[in-house]
Amino acid sequence: MLLSLLISSSLLYSSSAQQYAYGVDINQQGSSSNFNCLRQNSYSTVFVRAYKPDGSGTVDSSAVANINMAFQAGLGIEVYRTMNPTSSKQAATQIDEAITALTNGGISVRSLWIQVTSPVNWNKNQATNVNFINSALQRIRNRGISPGVYTNNYDWQQITNQASNLGSDVMLWVLEVYSSGVGGETAPNFTDFRPFGNWKTAAVKQFGQYESVCGFTANRDVYPLSTSTLREKMMNDAKGDKHKLIYVGYIGL
């Protein structure tokens, strides 16, 4: 039922003069049929988890396979990482582990999002958290990659006390939902966005959580349609690349 409703709207939403495209973010192993289903139902992008907080932090072993299948399905690809901020591993080490795994898998990373949610999983000392986040972001920059953060106003307040010293280059992927499931979705646009912390605007909005989409239990996202032009260029470049690299990260750039 959900997919039939999505198909009918072609997953393009217009608000005033601005049009938006849709994506999903996943943290599980998919199959070719799952990713083909997303493309057939007009999703434009999949956000793939590349690092998870298990143990002291570890590479998500499903990431490279998921990225390859998403690419073959014709989807744009973004990469995010759920770090372990209380680990004995430094933030830079966790960043390096994820990027190295992707690079070794034939993937060229242009942007990387770090997840800053679930305050219970972070240090009680907010200054420590801000230092961890800034260390991760700086390492991303040092690797020649554009940094982004996935968070919302409440979590950012609890974790960082509304830190605003990250740098103007840090993109925002904002989480705005009422609750889990289709009934908890907010509007698939940015009209409810209010500036907080480091940001006056957001590049991506997550407006739905824990929904069944093409065999995934996924979250739903929206972003300005204009960035799809860059996605298509990147995919064409990748297909013609003699080294057969897959490029990930284009939203907000």
pLDDT at 97 > cutoff 90 = yes
Amino acid at 240: G
Share of the chain above pLDDT 70, in %: 86
Look at residue 253 in the predicted model and tell me its pLDDT.
76
> Using CA atoms, how far apart are residues 191 and 61, in angstroms rounded to an integer?
37
The pTM for the full model equals 0.88
Look at residue 1 in the predicted model and tell me its pLDDT.
36
Look at residue 252 in the predicted model and tell me its pLDDT.
82
3-state secondary structure labels for all residues of 161-190? CCCCCCCCCCEEEEECCCCCCHHHCCCCCC
pLDDT at 5 > cutoff 80 = no
Q: What is the mean pLDDT of residues 197-221?
A: 97
* Domains in the chain, CATH or no CATH each: 2-248 (3.20.20.80)
Look at residue 4 in the predicted model and tell me its pLDDT.
35
Q: What is the mean pLDDT of residues 74-88?
A: 95
Name the more confident of 232 and 84: 84
Average pLDDT, the chain: 89
Helix H or strand E encompassing 99: helix 91-104
Among 167, 131, 156, 145, CA closest to 98:
145
